[in-house]
Amino acid sequence: MTNQEKIMIPKKSSLKGEDGYKTFSIRIKDETVQSLDEIAGQAHRSRNELINLFLEFAVGHYEIVE
């Protein structure tokens, strides 16, 4: 067999989960999902992208009060 008779499939450089992201599930209210979907539609973003943007903002802008 020559190389022209084979499909060359390069290995992926990283395995699933090694792209700097983690997957986990959360419980949120139906109303929150509806709001997220509306905003995502207006912004032409996926719900996942929107949630990431919101979380990144919140992590950088919080204050713990007692």
Per the domain annotation, does 4 fall within a domain? no
Average pLDDT, the chain: 86
Q: Is residue 42 part of a domain?
A: yes
CA dist., res. 45 & res. 47, Å (int): 6
pLDDT tens digits, 48-65:
999 999 999 999 999 999
Domain assignment of residue 66, yes or no: no
pLDDT of res. 26: 95
Helix 47-60 × helix 30-43 angle, to 10°: 100
3-class SS shares of the chain: helix, strand, coil, % to 5? 45, 0, 55
Quick check: pTM over 0.75? no
Residue 1 lies in a domain: no
Domain assignment present for 19: no
- How many folded domains does the chain comprise? 1
**CA-to-CA distance for 48 and 36, rounded, in angstroms?**
9
Q: Does the pLDDT value for residue 1 go beyond 60?
A: no
- Domain containing 37 equals 25-61
pLDDT of residue 13: 66
